[in-house]
Chains A and B, each alone.
Chain A
Amino acid sequence: MATFTLNPRRRGRPAPELIFGDLWPYDPAPETADPKLLARYGLFINGRFTPAKSGQVFDSINPATERKLAELARAGTADVNAAYAAAQRAFDTTWGRMPGRERAKYLFRIARLLQDRAREFAVAETMDGGKPIKESRDFDVPMAAAHFFYHAGWADKLDYVAPGRRVAPLGVVGQVIPWNFPLLMCAWKLAPALAMGNCVVLKPAETTSITALKLAEIIQDADLPPGVVNIVTGAGEVGAAVMGHRTAAKVAFTGSTEVGKSILRSLAGTDQKMTLELGGKAANIIFDDAPLDQAVEGVINGIFFNQGHVCCAGSRLLVQESIAGRVLAKLKQRLQVLRVGDPLDKNTDLGAINSREQLRKITALVKAGVREGAELYQPACVLPARGWYFRPTLFSGVTMSQRIAREEIFGPVLSILTFRTPEEAVEKANNTAYGLSAGVWTDKGARILKLATELKAGVVWANTYNKFDPASPFGGYKESGFGREGGRQGLLDYCRLA
């Protein structure tokens, strides 16, 4: 058997790098499955697709090409009212009265139908939102199906959700979801609400509504009673109408902290039940005993997953001072081989920025970082001529007071800070108004558990990052919102204790 030993003359010198430059370019490897898009989508109300009462429409744009994908109906107040009326009717007549074991079967059906059409949904998701196909194919769509499958099984076991108490559904729930994980957020919101016996009026994000409407096709095929799920499309004012509707027994929102606060203010005079999953500025902490190559991969995944359009993105890297130079060198090296470009290409690591507006926001914050004195690094990659793209970006020498260390950038921009002691790492990590997630990289199990205790964040990843599971509750501390999604704890937010 062949064995490999390190050349003794190499000892103490860095291992050779495998950087091929442009020696062997990749051939394009486009995913070609048919996304089966319609030219025009209506609102999904009472089990049927219907145009907006006003007849108004707006365009859904592919951010990778800036070309129109489909035309969507712009809902008005009358449409939102109709959606709520349908949902209330469904709650009173069918869904709210149905035994849990029957509700479960519908949710299992949705999970299966989504699995059947997984590739088609992945392509549609990538075209609509700009994320790399390998992410929508391997993460978004299978995880969405998993959420329906997981929650389906809860529907007839709700007596176990709240120890010592009986639970009952709330009624009609209004939900507004963001553009970063359009289908997955749909599943996160719908599955627990439906398992508990609620009916839903959901508004997807204006720029990424298509997979929600394709899910409505599955909901039709699954023969879900009309009105149990209603989907209205449009911009912020439609979201405000969904959040502020009098029929809503509860509202749930995922999006920016800024919008979350405005929802809190606008509903301050009501006793509305709410859950909010808001922004983040997570710290990813690397100790000097961490497996560095694994940590660097994790940091890259933590910030560049979905172009950094992730509320729990590890956007602040805290690295122990003694290894900061080595980590930065490894990160720069890794950045050089990240592939930015056509989201439909199976080799693409970073796809398109979701919208022109978001690209503008990222650009402005990066400029602020340079102005405030942080050191910028971007690899020399070629961006496509059309579409909205942004180079993966590192900032080193960042201080806590700089905007790039405090504000959520929601883009592929990593701010690197250093620390000396674990106490300093915790203090810096917690020195933020946010508290959604954190990462810890170390070889010591005891240190992981100590930091997990001290970090003020709803999710702590140890020697990994951006892992999700329907059984694992997700949600924030502080200004990252309240309520949990996933697991038994997530169901508590969709019931009342009887």
Chain B
Amino acid sequence: MSRLPITKTPKVYVGGAFIRSESARVFPLRDAAGAFFAHIPQCTRKDLRNAIEAAAAAGPGWAKRTAYNRGQILYRLAEMLEARSAELAAALLVGVKATPRARAAAAREVAATIDRIIYYAGWADKYEQLLGSVNPVAAPYFNFTVTEPMGVVGVLAPATPALLGLASLLAPAIVSGNTVVALASESQPYPAILLGEMLATSDLPGGVVNLLTGFRRELVPTFATHTHLRALSGVATAGERRALRLGAAESVKRTRLRPAEDRIDWYAADAQSLAAVGDTLEYKTTWHPIGA
């Protein structure tokens, strides 16, 4: 007699814990044939606010880690992904007809995601030397500009590529000490559920990355207006961009939104860059006196 497998109850990773929505709402995820796969948490505005609180609490500690340490933790995250890459590729195929072509695409996406995390891990202790500066002012001061993380960054992942898009937005934000609350792809939420499990085993402190699943139309308004989010980064439709910017105006929140209508090549050479790290940094200039 064959054994009935134990199916996993998907939970989102928030504040270092695996939770379901406070509302207890879920939505069904189906496979390509239309059969039931799992119930995904349908996170609410309250879940988002809780996640932002967790991210804000984790922020100062994470930003104070040494750059070397942050780099190693990101590298560790990549190790976790590499070890479970087959599982991640399978997650990308949920709801997709598993043709040889689709399988190859999923494997490629997982590989690119791991490489992307490695790329940003390496920036941790280097970007400051390129973005900051010592400034030759015409007065007796040691004048220097350093970067600082903005704080809590709201990330809106693209629908596809669900995993690579999410990682490409997360990694450059957290490498500099920001913390993130991200909304995963609405149509392909399962890879983000798995990514949460890998984040939990990567030495990344709880609350640094918080991943939510759910419906954009329910959560975008709170992403727009929540004043503890200091920046919004991600992919959004024209209507969403307008709503996000209108809400962001109230607290002069930084917005780095790319049009969902554009065909973004997440595999292109410029899909990863030092500039992306700079997108969630502030510049601070200090005038320190020189003299006895």
Q: Which residues of B contact A265 (CB under 8 A)?
A: 246, 249
What is the count of residue pairs linking A and B with beta-carbon distances less than 8 angstroms? Answer: 117
- Give B224's nearest chain A residue, CB to CB: A268
Take A452-B286, A467-B287, A473-B283 as given contacts and tell me if A261 and B273 are in contact as well, using a CB distance cutoff of 8 Å: no
- Whether B20 sits at the interface, judged by CB under 8 Å, is no
- Name A165's contact: one of B230, B252, B275, B283 (CB within 8 Å): B275
**Which of B136, B257, B286, B289 has the most chain A CB atoms closer than 10 A to its own CB?**
B286
Take A462-B286, A497-B275 as given contacts and tell me if A264 and B252 are in contact as well, using a CB distance cutoff of 8 Å: yes
A482 to B286, CA, bound (A): 17
Interface string of A463-498 (1 = CB under 8 A from B): 110010101111101111110100111001000010
- Name B246's contact: one of A268, A463, A475, A482 (CB within 8 Å): A268
Q: What size tier do the contact residues of chain B reach?
A: 35 or more
- Name A458's contact: one of B245, B246, B282 (CB within 8 Å): B282
Q: Which residues of A contact B245 (CB under 8 A)?
A: 264, 267-269
- Whether A278 sits at the interface, judged by CB under 8 Å, is yes
Take A162-B275, A478-B252 as given contacts and tell me if A473 and B145 are in contact as well, using a CB distance cutoff of 8 Å: yes
- Give B60's nearest chain A residue, CB to CB: A454
CB <8 Å contact, A472 and B249: no
A261 to B278, CA, bound (A): 23
Q: Which residues of B contact A488 (CB under 8 A)?
A: 133
A278 to B249, CA, bound (A): 13
- Whether B61 sits at the interface, judged by CB under 8 Å, is no
Q: SS class of chain A's interface: helix, strand, loop or mixed?
A: mixed
- Name A261's contact: one of B131, B137, B252 (CB within 8 Å): B252
A488 to B285, CA, bound (A): 12
Q: Which residues of A contact B254 (CB under 8 A)?
A: 482
- Name A472's contact: one of B143, B230, B242 (CB within 8 Å): B143
Interface string of B137-158 (1 = CB under 8 A from A): 1110101010000000000000
A262 to B42, CA, bound (A): 34
CB distance from A121 to the nearest CB of B (A): 20
Interface size on A, residues (CB 8 A): 48
Q: Given contacts A469-B143, A471-B135, A489-B133, could you give 9 more A-B pairs where the C-beta distance is less than 8 Å?
A: A268-B249, A269-B238, A449-B286, A458-B283, A459-B286, A460-B286, A471-B143, A475-B283, A497-B273
A residues touching B (Cβ–Cβ < 8 Å)? 146, 162-165, 257, 260-261, 264-265, 267-269, 271, 276, 278, 433, 445, 448-449, 452, 457-464, 467, 469, 471-475, 477-482, 484, 487-489, 492, 497
Chain A to chain B contacts (Cβ below 8 Å), 21 pairs: A260-B252, A261-B250, A264-B248, A268-B246, A269-B241, A269-B242, A276-B252, A433-B251, A449-B286, A457-B284, A458-B284, A459-B287, A461-B287, A462-B288, A462-B289, A463-B289, A469-B137, A472-B145, A473-B135, A477-B282, A487-B135
Closest A-B pairs by Cβ, 10 of them: A264-B249, A268-B245, A469-B137, A268-B246, A471-B135, A269-B242, A452-B286, A163-B130, A479-B252, A463-B289
